[in-house]
Amino acid sequence: MEFKVQLGPQHPALHEPISIRMTLDGEVIRDADLRLGYNHRGVEKLAESRSFIQNLYLTERICGICSFSHQTCYTQGVEKLMELVPARRGLYIRTLVCELERVHSHLLWLGVAGQEAGFESFFMYTWRDREVVMDILDWISGNRVHYSMNTFGGVRRDIDEMQRKKILDTLDLLKQRTDYYLNLAASEPTFVGRLAGVGKLSRQQAIDLCAVGPTLRASGVPMDVRKDDPYAVYDEIPFEVSTADSCDVLGRAVVRVKELIQSYRIIEFLLKNLPEGPFKVKAPRKVKPNEVYSRYEAPRGENVHYIKSNGSDKPERLKVRAPTLANYPATIAMLKNGFIADIPLIFAAIDPCICCAERLVQLDDGRGRGRVLRFSELRAMANERAKKIDYTKREIAWPF
């Protein structure tokens, strides 16, 4: 007998609000459907009312884990619109922060995967080591999560000789730990037994469903924007694209650990070959009317920003396609014919970042009827709302 079960939006297995509706046959999932929109904050619409510089800080807050990837993707796009060539030292530092972010994100994921597999001590180990990376980011940028490092034409802070030495020293510790994790992920029988064969996604399925990032690479497709369409200084850096052929959650874990090792190599290369010179160049305030498509390899996969400018200091349109959104169809395919107990593991394996992927225009009016809101309606709603806002709150006037 088939019956329907709803999981979420608030559920211990999910760390962010999302709702999964499943049709079950005993313990086997026959069909699954995702309901989104619990975390939709209207970032794209907000971006249209702010200047290009202000949007640097807004795009950063699309997501907390891959904040730098959204900001860099946006910055690169706007730099293309401005026809601006960023400073070389700035690009090196930008790439350095990109890779450090990848390291912290992958360590975070490994811990979450360990926890979902019932391996709590692994969770604690990786998160302890993640603090080391957070410390490095704290030294460089002054903040642990939102680094605010990018600006048009380079970065906002330089790194000095002492920081460079300190990072290189700390990297040795991280390398040692990651070798241990690779060993563990490949040989610990309980861990391998839990992950192997779960959430199968064949090579053809992965290509058909447009999976991105480690999910795609674990199905044996060596696709990486850093290699295929190099941005920043990736065309000068020697590194390999990590893949696995097992097409399951274990493969995704192995791909991420391998990527960690590649990231350490990249960071070492960047720090040893850091060019001298200025770290930023002056950027114009206004942007000529044009449109641009910017690609970036975030820790979770390909991140795409589309920016359209109309000659003013504000973008006319910003469209964000986060990697998690591209991975949802593949997740449904992975969930089908799997067990209920595997849901957290399969779902965690794409490294979901739900707040990244909340880009919806279609709204449900609560009576089961979906409707598409037109731009003008959305604007009227926003205006109406803005009128109601009381800008004085607790005797403090809001500066905007």
Partner 1 sequence: MIERLVHWSRVKSPWVLHLNTGACNACDIEILAALMPRFDLERFGILLKGTPRHADVIICTGPITRQNRDRVVRIYEQVPDPKFVVAVGACAMSGCVYRGSYNANLGVDQVLPVNAYIPGCPIRPDALIDGVVKLLNSLK
To partner 1, the closest distance from the beta carbon of 38 in angstroms equals: 5
Q: Helix (H, G, I), strand (E, B), or coil: what is residue 23?
A: strand
Residue number with CB closer to partner 1 (131 or 229): 131
To partner 1, the closest distance from the beta carbon of 355 in angstroms equals: 5
Q: What's at 183, amino acid-wise? A: N
To partner 1, the closest distance from the beta carbon of 36 in angstroms equals: 9
To partner 1, the closest distance from the beta carbon of 56 in angstroms equals: 11
H or E segment and range at residue 303: strand 301-309
Beta pairing class for 150-151 and 154-155: antiparallel
To partner 1, the closest distance from the beta carbon of 133 in angstroms equals: 11
Residue 386 makes contact with partner 1 by CB under 8 A:
yes
Residue number with CB closer to partner 1 (235 or 364): 364
Residue 58 makes contact with partner 1 by CB under 8 A:
yes
* Residue 163 near residue 242 (C-beta atoms within 8 A): no
Beta pairing class for 19-25 and 28-35: antiparallel
To partner 1, the closest distance from the beta carbon of 111 in angstroms equals: 9
Report, in this order, helix, strand and coil percent for the chain, each rounded to 5: 50, 15, 35
Cα within 13 Å of Cα(323), Cβ side:
27
Cβ neighbors of 396 (< 8 A, separation 6 or more) are none
Q: How far apart are CA 83 and CA 283, in angstroms?
A: 10
Please select the residue that binds partner 1; options are 34, 274, 292, 382, rule is CB under 8 A: 382
Q: Phi and psi for 224 in degrees, rounded to 5? A: -150, 125
Candidate segments 43-51, 166-174, 179-187, 301-309, binder of partner 1 by CB under 8 A:
43-51
Please select the residue that binds partner 1; options are 7, 21, 24, 49, rule is CB under 8 A: 49
Window 353-372: residues binding partner 1 (CB under 8 A): 353-356
Cβ neighbors of 364 (< 8 A, separation 6 or more) are 37, 370
Candidate segments 120-128, 183-191, 195-203, 223-231, binder of partner 1 by CB under 8 A:
120-128
Binding site for partner 1 (CB under 8 A): 9-13, 15-17, 37-43, 45-46, 49, 57-58, 61-65, 67, 108, 124, 127-128, 130-131, 134, 144-146, 353-356, 378, 381-382, 385-386, 389, 393, 398, 400
